[in-house]
Amino acid sequence: MSKIVPVILSGGSGTRLWPVSTGTAPKQFQPLTGGDSMFLQTLGRAVDRTRFAAPLVVCGPAHVAHVEADLAAGGIADARIIVEPAARNTAPAIALAALATLADDPASTILVMPADHVMTDVPAFLDAIEAARPAVEAGALATFGITPSHPETGYGYIAAGDPLAEAPGVRAVRRFVEKPPRDKAEAMLAVGGHYWNAGIFLMRADRFLAELERQHSAMASSCAAAAAKARRDGARIHPDPDAFLASPADSIDYAVMEGAERVVVAPVDPGWSDVGGWAALHELGDKDGSGNVRIGEVIAIDATDNYLRACEGKRVAVVGVSGLIVVTHGDDILVIPRERAQEVKAIVEYLATNPPR
């Protein structure tokens, strides 16, 4: 059995974590959750070289420097970096990675992981990979379904079907469910057998490319041409820009998974979060006795359930506030209620149309 090739998709811009995360310095490269960046944490899940091959990172030109700095900081010397000439969503990105691994090993299996997720129970994730492996070897496309903790309306769901005989704990996928309204999310939790779609996949590279060819031959051929004419520069792989730009843009969910044959789901509860905003960081963080997450130099008096982040020599002092996000970064200070933390995008949009200083 060949080793699994970790494929790290690092295309996100993470503007919901402004001002720390920005288009040029997105969240996966920031020490937001303590310790390593989320990018390095993601690589760390597949660092055991007896089970995993050297990783492949897919990112845009603006982030290559971040990727290389993090790889150096993490002591990961064997990674290769596919530099997308432009963003074409996840299906073409994964196609480039699949093509690169096939060149090394016609039987290669890839583990696709977004670079900006957190997992607190990595062994549970590794167990799920092992559980899915026999089905994947036999040709299935495996998703990892996160056990839902609440009726979240911000994620897609996977409806699981029959258990597989050849892979205990793994189940056929009945269907993919788009981000549901609240009542539908509650109904799915009540009935059971529904999981969050975390965008993590395990599959044979040849099987993924065959499905892409079958469902989206234009995308498949554009990516194949871009990979065939790729330019190499040390660990960097530069797909041919003209060929790649000819590819339609689409997600792996729409372009491949929803219409694919033999899709399975490995249910898992790895303490997962996509760190989709400041409220998620409040949830993930260590709290004081009043439910405040305090990072850096913080004074909090009669204050409850706040996320208070003072960085780079700043000092944040609050009195009598509750449920607030207060974040400093550089010269920026953000104040927003936790329950409205997603609306930070309104500031990012404002800044995009009103150039800063």
Residues that bind its own copies (CB under 8 A): 19, 297, 299, 301-302, 310, 313-321, 324, 326, 328, 331-337, 340, 343-344, 346-347, 350-351, 356-357
Q: Are 275 and 32 in contact (CB under 8 A)?
A: yes
Enumerate residues 6+ apart whose C-beta is below 8 A from 356: none
Q: Are 94 and 252 in contact (CB under 8 A)?
A: yes
Q: In sequence order, which residues have a C-beta less than 8 Å from that of residue 320 and are 6 or more positions away?
A: 301, 302, 303
- The Cβ-side half-sphere exposure at 333, using a 13 Å CA radius, reads 9
- Residue 36 CB, shortest distance to its own copies, in Å, is 26
- Amino acid code (one letter) for 305: D
Selection from 33, 18, 94 nearest residue 282 by Cα: 33
Q: Which is nearer to its own copies, 6 or 277 (CB)?
A: 277
The CA distance from 27 to 165, in Å, is 40
Residue 344 Cβ, how far from its own copies at the closest point, in Å? 7
Beta carbon nearer to its own copies, 21 or 222? 21
| CA separation for the pair 111, 126 (Å, rounded) | 11
Is the CB of 10 or the CB of 22 nearer to its own copies?
22
Smaller CB separation from its own copies, 175 or 315: 315
Distance in Å, CB of 336 to its own copies, minimum: 5
Shortest approach of its own copies to residue 29 CB, angstroms? 22
Q: How far is the CB of 63 from its own copies (least distance, A)?
A: 24
Token pair listed for 238: 């530069």
Cβ proximity to its own copies: between 249 and 351 the closer is: 351
Q: What is the DSSP string of 38-92?
A: HHHHHHHTT--TTTB---EEEE-GGGHHHHHHHHHHTT--S-EEEE-SS---HHH
Of 218 and 301, nearer to its own copies (C-beta) is: 301
- Shortest Cβ 71–its own copies spacing (Å): 32
Q: Name the residue nearer to its own copies (CB basis): 173 or 318.
A: 318
Which two tokens mark 225? 């041409």
CB nearer its own copies, residue 4 or residue 321: 321
How far apart are CB 298 and its own copies at their closest, in Å?
Answer: 10
CA distance 197 to 94: 17
Peptide bond into 106 cis (omega under 30): no
CA-CA distances (angstroms) from residue 144 to 57, 124, 238, 252? 20, 11, 30, 14
Distance CA 122, CA 185 (A): 26
* Rounded least distance, CB 288 to its own copies, Å: 15
Nearer to its own copies by Cβ, of 158 and 344: the residue is 344
Tokens representing 201 are 């996949």
Min dist CB 66 to its own copies, Å, is 23
